[in-house]
Structure 1
Amino acid sequence: MSQFTLRDRFEKALKGEAVDIIPVCSVTQTGTVELMETTGAYWPQANFNADKMAALALAGYEIAGFENVRCPFDITVLAETLGCAVDEGSIDMQPYITDFPCKNKKDVKNIMVPDSLLESRRTSVVLEAVEILNEKVGETVPVVAGVVGPAGLAFMLAGIKNYITWFVKDTEVVEELMGVLNDACIEYANGLLERGANAITLIDSEAGPDIISPQMFEESVFPLYRKFCRKVKGLKVLHMCGDATAVLNSLGDTGFDGVSVEEKVNVSSAKAAIGDRVRLIGNISPSDTLLAKGPEAVLIEATACLEDGIDILAPGCGLAPHTPLENIKALVRARDDYFLQ
């Protein structure tokens, strides 16, 4: 029997301390149709009701085998709270943005952190779900809460055209917007930690090299991450989709405890870039492997990931809703085969 609870092991692994075996977790979305059918907690209701959100998140641990629980399942919580219009989605489609408030540069001045940020219809649900999960498993199983970061929120509140254009031609505008949004992220993240989350995943792919240049990242986003990490009082993970290789060295100096990367990032090269400054999480392909292939392919990819030195084995991004349950379970099997046989 392990000397560690799952929560102990997760927290030690994120801090770079010695563990018996590495955790198998998901710091990104875990809702699948099979888990919805098993629990009766379906999208879209599970995105807007705390009890259903907690039930579906708990299934990721109790049924799928992840060694943590994680909520919410979509990325529109703060975006809606700060002014975006959102379609609620369906059983296999997450909520998505249908309209945004920053149509031009002048609109940025109207964006502010509301006094009731933690009482909105979306944030209040996630906060309550985290509280429920903490009451159920918080002593033994880590509770991870997701928050979209300042770049991702700016992308949603301004739209892709404005976001890219402002970065190129009006940097001060997008920096002003992201500064306000970063403050919202900090307040929300600390609220989640106070309700019982053990770690925060800041999801901010729009800050990555696939969207903006590494120089833009260094000048405009890096200082925001430093502030976020100073102000948020708990374990912090950054998730960045795409090939984040070009900014990994910088991410090692932001203050995050872990960086979650997808399969486009070579684990060995990433470990060389970040050293022991931050732990690496990932990076099994959620679409090419976990969704589209079978358990044996998952075992092969996960074993390679372990051999390359990943610190926490995880999907490289959020699970597709139709990901087979047997493929998710194969992640723990791969870890156990690697360490215990």
Structure 2
Amino acid sequence: MSGLTAKERFIRSLEGKEVDKVPVCSVTQTGVVELMEITGSKWPQAHYDPEMMATLAIAGNTIAGLEAVRFPFCNTVIPETLGCIFNEGSIDTQPYQLDFPCKTKEDAANFSIPADLAKSRRIEIMLKTAEIIKDRISDDIPLVAGMIGPASIAFYLSGAKNYLHWCITDPELLKRLMKLGTEICIEYSNLLFERGVDAVVIIDSEAGPDLLPPPLFTELVLPEYHLLTSEMKGHKILHICGDATDILDPMANSGFEGLSIEERTDLSYAKSIVGDRACLIGNLSPAATLLSKSTDQIKKEAKQCIEDGAGILAPGCGIAPRTPVENIKAFVASRDEYYKEQG
């Protein structure tokens, strides 16, 4: 068992199999300014250039020590492909939305997916990036790609006000947008799997209780997850920001092998609910701890995550851009220290 590669350990953890030690990585964004300065691959250009994106993503493994390569660094690929407008952001700020296509119910009712998704600008960039990374990294390292999920796609398409209003007044209309989102996620994720990606993370925070009441999660979102996970041809992870406590049970029944949760969801309680139905991923605070605290405190809290039931040790959400690489290295080191201390 001690001879496992990082990829074997990662995949076995997702599959609920025995490992020598939990993997330590990030299934969410890994681009930090210090890595950008070292590699010369900087935001916002690294969001749109395959070579730069690949270089920055690989640095999370080769320089910071994370046991996976994860890309991209933003959540805008699908929304921009569907007609949303974004500001590109800066070296330490993510791209942010300026406009959306479904301003009225009529817009939403008539909205359709663009033809030939694989040839759209942003998705072509992502597919090329996957190929570059696979060519550059060892086959012993897992490659993880992220994309937003059905609820988040509906949110980006309709805007926050419409999303919150329609989930009460016209849930069928919102469900239509989610179904379109599911179709896109299936096609896009399988294109990535064909290019060697080992796991796809579906980021669907707008499905969580912070925005969507849990009964609507079960009614509107869960059926889409069942369809999505049944059609994805590779390992699949769900990430939901915020406090996901009230939807942990349906999340565990969604078909996702891994559930990535933020620090606001108590990990030990999550383990008691989820059990062995899925691998829990998380949930060190990326802002309150990984960005801001001493390396000793980072290690202490990371070890507690393992103790509380993390099957993959990871930040609870995307790593903050100004996080020091030293802190990420301490986070990685905490895993090995934990097992040494356990004897």
TM-score after normalising by structure 1: 0.98
Taking the aligned partners of 2:125 and 2:295, their CA distance within structure 1 comes to 34
Superposition RMSD on alpha carbons, in Å?
A: 1.0
Hey, what's the Cα distance between the residues in 2 that align with 1:303 and 1:5? 21
Deviation at 1:142, TM superposition (A): 0.2
What does 1:20-35 correspond to in 2, within 5 Å?
Answer: 20-35=20-35
- Partner residue in 1 for 2:95: 95
Q: 1: distance between equivalents of 2:114 and 2:159? A: 21
The sequence identity of aligned pairs, in percent, is 52
Match of 1:161 in 2: 161
Q: For 1:145-294, list aligned pairs within 5 A.
A: 145-294=145-294
Q: Provide the secondary structure at the position in 2 that maps to 1:122.
A: helix
Residue 70 of structure 1 is matched in structure 2 by 70
Q: Aligned residue for 2:322?
A: 322
Q: Counterpart of 1:55 in structure 2: which amino acid?
A: T
What is the rounded CA distance, in whole Å, between the counterparts of 2:25 and 2:332 in structure 1? 9
Kindly provide the CA deviation profile for residues 281-318 of structure 1, in whole angstroms up to 9, marking residues without a partner as x: 00000010111112111111101111112100000000
Q: Note the C-alpha offset of 1:324.
A: 1.1
SS, match of residue 270 in structure 2: helix
- Give yes or no for contact 2:149–2:204 (8 Å, CA) kept in 1: yes
Question: Residue 250 of structure 2 aligns to a residue in which SS?
Answer: helix
Are the counterparts in 2 of residues 82 and 111 from structure 1 also a CA contact under 8 Å?
Answer: no
How far is 1:138 from its partner? 5.2
Q: Distance in 2 between matches of 1:112 and 1:218?
A: 25
State how many pairs are aligned.
341
Deviation, structure 1 residue 331: 1.4
8 Å CA contact retained: 2:153, 2:177:
no
Aligned counterpart, 2:336 = 336
Query: Is the alpha carbon distance of 1:101 and 1:33 closer, same or farther for their aligned partners in structure 2, counting shifts above 3 Å?
Result: same
Q: Secondary structure at the match of 2:121?
A: coil
Report if aligned partners of 1:25, 1:312 keep a CA contact under 8 Å in 2: yes
1:301 aligns with 2:305: no
Cross-structure match for 2:39 = 39
In structure 2, runs of 5+ residues without a counterpart are: none
Show structure 1 runs of 5+ residues with no match. none
Determine if contact 1:138/1:196 at 8 Å carries over to the other structure.
no
1:108 deviates by: 1.1
Q: Which amino acid aligns with 1:135?
A: D
Q: Aligned equivalents of 1:74 and 1:164: distance in 2? A: 23
Pairing 1:3–2:3 present = yes
* Deviation larger for 88-97 or 234-243: 88-97
* Structure 1 residue 4 displacement after superposition: 1.0
Give the whole-Å Cα distance in 2 for the aligned partners of 1:296 and 1:340: 16
> Secondary structure at the residue paired with 1:236?
strand
Q: Distance in 1 between matches of 2:4 and 2:202?
A: 26
Amino acid paired to 1:250: P
What letter is aligned with 2:5?
Answer: T
Separation of aligned partners in 2, 1:31 and 1:119:
26
